[in-house]
Structures are given as C-alpha cells and as structure tokens.
Amino acid sequence: MGATACGLSDTSPVVVTTPPPDLDRAPSELRWEPWQGVNLPFAREDGPAKLTEAALGYSHTPQGAALAAIHHTVRISLAPDDTWARTAAQSLMPGPGKDAWVLARAQISVTQPASPVVAPRITAYKFTTYTADRAELLVYSTYSDNSVTSNKQTVVWSSNDWRLLLPDPVLKTVVVESVPAIPADAVQLSAAR
C-alpha cells in the first residue's frame, strides 16, 4: 500500500495559481515627454518601448494597456498630416470604427501642436473591464480651466501589443464626457514634469 499511495501522489496534477492582475497599481518609474503639445506618460517596464509614427511596445499588463490607450488616443488625435495614416495603421484595430475615423481624419488638417489652452493633462485612469485580451477603461484629463473629462477607451491585445479599438459609429457610443471630478478609486498618474 505504501507504494500505491506514493505512486498516486506522483501523478496528482500540480495546480499553479497566479495572482490576478493588479488593476489599481500605477505604472512604475513613470516619466513624461511632450508630444504635439501634450505630455505623455512613459514607463520603463510597461512602455511604450518603440517610437515610430506610433508608440508601440507595451507590456501585457493592465499598466501596459492603460499606457497604450493613452498614447494611441492622443497620437491619432494630434498626428500631423504627413504621418496620421501610418499612425493609424500601427495603432488601430481594423473595423468600422477605424474606417469611420480614417474617413473623418482625411477631411481635416493638423499642422501644429495643440495649444496649451486646450491641451489635456492626462491625470488618471480606471478600468471598467480587464482580461488578458481586452481592456476597457476611462482615461481622465484636466484642462487649463480645471474642467475634467473622461475618455472611454478599449484596447485589444493583438500581434503582441495593445491596439486601440475605436467604437462602431452605428452604436453612437459617447466616448468623451465632462465629469465633475476624477473618482477617488481611479489610478492617479504622477504629475507631468
């Protein structure tokens, strides 16, 4: 019987548990760099690690997803005329949202950085859902008049990086809303320097 019991314990499955991702941890070692009039957050471990027309190379973590949502949103919004198409190709997931955005972007011209009067200061974010393949979050920004907005974003893990998924225009999703304040449970980003 001793041999049988020993044999059974050797074939027992090993259960490995990994802790759930920490949605409330801010990216570590955060630094800020200006781009087109907006200060953008960078984190050594969470990204972005590669800058071309787009910012790429995010960690497969909630922190990487948040940084990707922030960078992709600002960069497609302020990409100059000569780079916006390549920025969109590298940053956006294919679909009706991207198609509608491309058609709208082709109708306008961006030739200068955002004015400090209207440029957002990214201050916090809060996940509404998070899985290893998809993250939905609200990104909070403050403005020179102390007003606050929340920007609803979705990023998808695709080709080993986070890409922005723009909403299907048929759904008439409200993406940016004015809010009275940043919620206390939002992940605060250190002040831009």
From the centroid of its chain, how far is CA 105?
20
Distance of alpha carbon 151 from alpha carbon 134, whole angstroms? 17
**What pLDDT, on a 0 to 100 scale, did the predictor assign at position 14?**
72
DSSP state of 131: -
Which helix (H) or strand (E) is 89 found in, with range? helix 84-91
pLDDT on residue 193: 46
Q: Tell me the residue type at 44.
A: R
What pLDDT is stored for residue 12 in this prediction?
A: 64
Question: What pLDDT is attached to residue 191?
Answer: 65
pLDDT at 15: 72
Global pTM exceeds 0.95: no
Q: Count CB neighbours of 59 within 10 A.
A: 19
CATH code of the domain made up of 33-188: 3.10.450
pLDDT of amino acid 89: 97
Q: Which residues of the chain have pLDDT under 50?
A: 1-8, 193
pLDDT (0 to 100) of residue 78: 96
pLDDT at residue number 19: 83
